[in-house]
Each structure stands twice: as C-alpha cells, then as structure tokens.
C-alpha cells in the first residue's frame, strides 16, 4: 500500500489511550508524517479501508476490536499495510511472530527505538 512514496507519508495511530495517541501524533507530525488517529479497533479498521494509510501503529488492547482482531480482518480482506504492533503487556514478540508481524514495540515507548521501528516497517512494506 506504499503507492504514495512521493507525497507525504500517511500513518494511522490506533490506540485507546488519549495521551499515547496525542504524544505519538505530535512526534510523528514533527517527523513529517500525515497522522490520523483511531480510538478503538473498529475505527482503525474503517480508516484503513477508507484512507489507505502507508503504515499502522496498532495497539493490541483496544475496545471493540483488539489489535489482533484488526490485523486478522485486514488479512482476511487481503489489505496489505505495514503494521507496527504495540502493547504494554508481555509476550509481544511471541504474539507478533504468531501473526507474521515483523515490526513490534513495547510500551511505554522508547522514542528512538519507536522511530527506528516505524522507518524499518515503512521501508520494508
């Protein structure tokens, strides 16, 4: 879904935590991304389908649909998008691996590591 490499890169932050979304949104806009936000999994899925962002930061624990459920819906609909899976809870590497998600990061975020993970996910999409 990286057809927009020549224009501003679009990213969707899907996280039910308002402070986390606000912090990431500010940070990523400073890095030159066009940022959209979703407060739950259902909203994230709608925005991905409608706006086709280049990358999705997907928190796993969200209301309505979890990050895993959102990812499985995208897979079922054959929607290709770079995903960075995030969670504050353990077992993240095993969870990401079981889904085939190569890029993941634990919360709270280590900002340099987060930016590195996002760039890697974007370049490898």
What are residue 58's DSSP bridge partners? 14, 85
User: What does the pLDDT average to over 11-35?
Assistant: 96
pLDDT (tens digit per residue) in 42-97 = 999 999 999 999 999 999 999 999 999 999 999 999 999 999 999 888 788 899 99
- Domain parsing of the chain, residue ranges: 10-124
What the block records as the tokens of 21 is 């979304």
Fold assignment, 10-124: Rossmann fold (3.40.50)
Q: What is the helix (H) or strand (E) element at residue 112, kind and residue range?
A: helix 111-123
**Spatial CA neighbour of 55 closest among 44, 41, 40, 39:** 44
State the first-to-last Cα distance of the chain, in angstroms, to the nearest integer: 8
How far apart are alpha carbons 117 and 122 in whole angstroms?
9
């Amino acid at each position: 879904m990286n057809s927009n490499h020549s224009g501003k890169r679009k990213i969707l932050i899907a996280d039910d935590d308002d402070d986390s979304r606000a912090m990431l949104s500010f940070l990523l806009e400073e890095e030159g991304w066009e940022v959209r936000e979703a407060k739950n999994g259902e909203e994230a899925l709608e925005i991905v389908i409608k706006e086709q962002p280049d990358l999705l930061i997907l928190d796993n624990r969200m209301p309505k649909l979890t990050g895993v459920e959102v990812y499985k819906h995208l897979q079922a609909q054959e929607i290709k998008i770079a995903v960075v899976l995030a969670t504050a809870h353990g077992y993240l590497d095993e969870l990401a691996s079981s889904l085939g998600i190569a890029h993941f990061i634990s919360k709270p975020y280590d900002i340099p590591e987060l930016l590195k993970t996002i760039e890697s996910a974007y370049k490898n999409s």
